[in-house]
Structure 1
Amino acid sequence: MSTRTSPLKLKLPLTLWNIALALFSITGTIRTWPEMAHVLTRFGFHHSVCANTFHKEVPISSFWTWLFILSKAPELIDTVFVVLRKQKLIFLHWYHHATVLIFTWYAYADEASTGRWYCTMNYGVHAVMYSYYALRALGVRIPRQLAMCITISQIAQMVMGTFVTFYAFYAKSNGRQCDMSFSTLYAGIAIYISYFILFAQFFIASYLVPKKPKKTTEAKKT
C-alpha cells in the first residue's frame, strides 16, 4: 500500500501569502524608486552605482533596503508551498532563493553601493510577479503573454544587474570611488551571470520549445 500523500491545495494561505508579498513589494517600490530617480537626474549614473548614500543619508531608502534584506528569509516559504503542493521543484527555484538570501545579506553587511540598483529593481519585478501569483491563486485566468512578460522582466533585471556590477568593478579597478569591496563585486558578477543563464533557459524551455504531446496510458494496438 502506497504511503504517498496527496498534494495539499492550500488555496487560501497561498492567496494570502502572495497578496502579502505583492503589497510589500509594491510599497517597497513606491518608497525606494523616488530616491533612485532623484539620484539619476541630479547626480548621474555613476553616483547611482558607486555612492552608498541611500544607506547613510536617506532614512526611508535605508529602512526599506533593510526590510528588503530581511524579506529574503521569509520568501523561502515559496519553496514550502511548492513542496506541500507537490509541484516540480526546479533547480532555478531553490538555487535562486538560496543564493539571493546569502548574497543580499553579504552585500548589505558591506554596505554595497550597487545595492541601490539591486533593491529597487527587485522590488519592482516582485511587485508585478507576486500580484500575478495572487491572481492565479484566486483562480483568475491570466493570459500566457503576461507570464512571458514577467519572465522577460526578470531576465532584464539580470542583464541590468550584471551591467551595473561590471560598471562598479571597472570604476573601482580604475581608481574611481566606489563604495563596495572587490569580494562583493566578484560575488555579484557570478550571481547575476548565473541568474541570467538560468532564467534565459527557463524562458526558452517554457515559451519557445514546442511541448511534447502527453502519452496515453494505453499503448496503441498494432
Structure 2
Amino acid sequence: MSHASFNASAFDFEKTVLTQDMLNFITNNYKLSVWASAVYVVVIFGGRWIMDRKDKFGLNYALALWSGMLAIFSVIGTARMWPEMLHVLQHEGFYSSACIAGYMEHSVTQFWTGLFVLSKIIELGDTVFIVLRKQPLIFLHWYHHITVLLYSWYSLREEVASGRWFICLNFAVHAVMYSYYALRALKFRVPNQIRMIITAQQLIQMIIGCFLNFYVYSIKNEGRFCQISYENIRLSFLMYFSYFILFAKFFYDTYINPTPRPARLISEEKRRIAKAEQKAD
C-alpha cells in the first residue's frame, strides 16, 4: 500500500484527531451538499433578479481578498497532496495511483482531502461576486460548481482511489486560476494568454478525467481490484465528459471564434441606455 512507504512529515494540525471527525462529518452528512446546492441556485438566480434593478457593485478589493485566500489554500493543497501522488507514480506505478486509495490512510493527505471536499461549499461564493458585479453568469460556471460539490461529497464516502487524481489536478489548476483572479481584481495587467492557458489546463484536466474513467472501468472488467464502484465510474465519466464539451465550447467561443468586441460594446450600451430610460420614467 502506498501509505506504508510514503513518509512525508505531517504538521501537528494535520495529525490531530479532528481530521477523522472532519471526514466522518462529510461522509455522514451528504445531504448538506444537496441543501447547499439548492440554496446556491436560489441565491444566485434570485440575486440576478434583484440586481437587474440595481447598479452593480465594484468589490475589487473584496474579490482580490477572496481569490487570494483561495489561491493560497490551493497552493498549499497542491504542495501537500502532490508529493504522495508522485511517490506512488514513481514507486508503485499508474495502476496504484488510480486504483489503490492509499492517500486516504496518510494523515497529510487525509487532512487535505477533507479540506478539499469542504472547500467546494466555500467556492460557491465565487458566483456571488459575479452576481453582485453583474458579470455574465454562464451555464458552465454554476453547473460546474454544483456538480463538483455533489460528486466530491459523494465520492468521499467511497474513498474512491482515482479521487487522488481529481484532487491533485483540481488543486493545481485552482492555484493558478485564483491567483489570476486576484491579480485581475487588483487591476494588474495580466496577459490574455494567461487566461487562455488556464482554460487549456482545465480542458486537459477533463481529458485526463475521461481517460481515468476508461482506465479504471477496463481494470474492473478484467476482474482486477480497483477501489471505485461502477456507479461512481458512470457518474464521474458523465461529469468529466460534460465538462470537456462545455470547456471546449468555451475555449472555441472565447479564443478561436470570439464574438466581435464592438458588437458586445453596442449591446452593453443599449442595455445601459434602456436602464437609464426606465429610471427616468
Instruction: Give the TM bin, normalised by the shorter chain.
Output: over 0.9
Alignment correspondent of 1:39: 88
Letter paired with 1:189: F
Matched, 1:118 2:166: yes
Q: Give the superposition deviation at 1:202.
A: 0.2
Matched, 1:9 2:58: yes
Letter paired with 1:40: L
Letter paired with 2:154: Y
Q: Give the superposition deviation at 1:106.
A: 0.6
Q: C-alpha offsets along residues 121-155 of structure 1, whole Å, 9 cap, x if unaligned?
A: 00000000000000000000111111100000000
The one of 136, 144, 151 equivalent to 1:88 is 136
The one of 116, 137, 142 equivalent to 2:190 is 142
Alignment correspondent of 1:209: 257
Q: TM-score, normalised by structure 2?
A: 0.75
Kept in 1, the 8 Å contact 2:206–2:241? The answer is yes
Q: TM-score, normalised by structure 1?
A: 0.94
Matched, 1:63 2:111: yes
Larger fraction in helix: 2
Letter paired with 2:236: G
Aligned Cα root-mean-square deviation (Å): 1.4
Alignment correspondent of 1:129: 177
Any residues of structure 2 matched to 1:136-215 within 5 Å, and which?
Answer: 136-212=184-260, 213-214=262-263, 215=266
Q: C-alpha offsets along residues 39-65 of structure 1, whole Å, 9 cap, x if unaligned?
A: 000000000000001112x11011101
Secondary structure of 1:72's aligned partner = helix
Q: Give the superposition deviation at 1:105.
A: 0.6
Alignment correspondent of 1:18: 67
2:113, 2:81 → 1: CA distance? 8
Secondary structure of 2:111's aligned partner = helix
2:239, 2:154 → 1: CA distance? 12
2:56, 2:78 → 1: CA distance? 34
Q: Give the superposition deviation at 1:11.
A: 1.2
Q: 1:72 to 1:210 in 2, by over 3 A?
A: closer
How many percent identity over aligned positions? 49
Runs of at least 5 residues in structure 2 that lack an aligned partner in the other structure: 1-51, 271-281
2:118, 2:61 → 1: CA distance? 24
Secondary structure of 2:124's aligned partner = helix
1:104, 1:68 → 2: CA distance? 9
Kept in 1, the 8 Å contact 2:252–2:258? The answer is no
Mean CA deviation greater in 74-83 or 209-218? 209-218
Letter paired with 2:186: L
Kept in 1, the 8 Å contact 2:140–2:246? The answer is yes
1:16, 1:153 → 2: CA distance? 24
Q: Give the superposition deviation at 1:177.
A: 0.5
The one of 109, 112, 121 equivalent to 2:157 is 109
